[in-house]
Amino acid sequence: MAKTPERGVKIQKNSPLKAYFLHHARVFVSSLGELTRRPIASMMTITVIAIALALPSGMYLFLHNVNQISADWDSSAQMSLFIKNNVSQRKVERLANRLNLRNDIESTKIITPEEALDDFVRISGFGDALNSLDKNPLPSVIVIQPIVDNQKPLQVSQLLNDMKKLPEVDIAQLDLEWVKRLYTMLDIANRAVWVISILLGIAVLLTVGNTIRLDIQSRKEEIIVIKLIGATNAFIRRPFLYTGLWYGLIGSLLALILTNIALSLISTPIQKLASLYNSNFELIGLSFDNSLMLIITSCILSLGGSWLAVGRQLSKIEPS
């Protein structure tokens, strides 16, 4: 039959390319129509996707913000170098300036023995006796503000070791060991967010895949019929792929909404908390780039899920 002038050809057709795009656009819109025709059913799938997407983005934001808070706390992560008594004041200043040049040190501050004594007097509240000392027994102290890189909590230990080795330094002491511990925890949490994101990404893929699979299953008869009257596999595949895309798109938008609602809900208590610590901390939301990433990831995962399902299922459904 393929050789003869086909009767079917008499049908007035659109130009192939135009027809192709028209058809795609029509399927794109009509697959959305399908979803809205079964609103509750579609919402179930979309909600699952949105939850699966909102969780990692929420956790990402949480950690991002904690990192930010703890960056504020960096100021506490100071190091005190107690200088040997026989080092002259000028040498102490030179040492401080030299240390200042290191790229893992933010700033240095010298506390002279006099200042130290004043502090001590102030803290102990009993100056009289000390003031009567003929010689100040306290050493000079250089207070170092290290540059703390969240990714490298061990750098600070390294710096501490270096400092201990300086000939002028008697004792080097990290003021707040706990900051290091916090960073270790944050580091673990960051990794956890990655693992969780991957797991939930798989969940999105499977959810969409599963939905589409069962959708195909429930349209098995229709697919057979439509194959019987000459539809190509691509023609049959298309609406399912677009449905998957819609799931991903709407699911990610819902996830964004959920995340932002959650954010605005906790923003007030967090702000209050921050003010307790005199921090002028601003809660960080999802940036435009983050949001776009989320949407694109979701669309890709959903499309991937439906692609897998369609591929597996369609070949199994053949008229007989």
Q: Which residues bind another protein (CB under 8 A)?
A: 1-4, 6-8, 10-14, 16, 19, 23, 221-222, 224-233, 235, 319-320
Nearest Cα residue to 243 out of 31, 55, 70, 71: 31
Least distance from C-beta 238 to a second copy, angstroms? 20
User: Which listed option, a second copy, another protein, none, makes contact with residue 229 (CB within 5 to 8 Å by class)?
Assistant: another protein
What φ, ψ does residue 21 adopt, rounded to 5°?
-70, -40
User: Which listed option, a second copy, another protein, none, makes contact with residue 8 (CB within 5 to 8 Å by class)?
Assistant: another protein
Of residues 14, 107, 158, 217, which one binds a second copy by CB under 8 A?
Answer: 217
User: Distances from the Cα of 138 to the Cαs of 85, 114, 163, in angstroms?
Assistant: 8, 8, 19
User: Which listed option, a second copy, another protein, none, makes contact with residue 317 (CB within 5 to 8 Å by class)?
Assistant: none
Q: Kindly report the CA angle at 276 between 273 and 277, in degrees rounded to 5?
A: 100
Of residues 210, 260, 271, 290, which one binds a second copy by CB under 8 A?
Answer: 210
Least distance from C-beta 35 to another protein, angstroms? 14
Nearest Cα residue to 205 out of 56, 305, 55: 305
User: Which listed option, a second copy, another protein, none, makes contact with residue 4 (CB within 5 to 8 Å by class)?
Assistant: another protein
Q: Kindly report the CA angle at 21 between 15 and 27, in degrees rounded to 5?
A: 125
Which tokens go with 77? 């992560």
Q: 3-class DSSP state for residue 167?
A: coil
Nearest Cα residue to 308 out of 163, 184, 211: 211
Of residues 79, 92, 138, 144, which one binds a second copy by CB under 8 A?
Answer: 138
CB atoms within 10 A of CB 144: 25
Nearest Cα residue to 109 out of 117, 119, 99, 118: 99
Of residues 8, 33, 165, 221, which one binds a second copy by CB under 8 A?
Answer: 221
> Maximum CA pair distance of the chain?
120
171 lies in the binding site for a second copy (CB under 8 A)? yes
User: Which listed option, a second copy, another protein, none, makes contact with residue 213 (CB within 5 to 8 Å by class)?
Assistant: a second copy
**Residues lying near a second copy in the complex (CB under 8 A):** 40-41, 44-45, 47-48, 51-52, 54-55, 58-59, 62, 66, 73, 76, 82, 85, 123-130, 133-139, 170-171, 176, 178-179, 181-182, 184-185, 188-189, 192, 195-196, 199-200, 202-203, 206-207, 209-211, 213-215, 217-218, 220-221, 262, 266, 270, 273, 277, 312
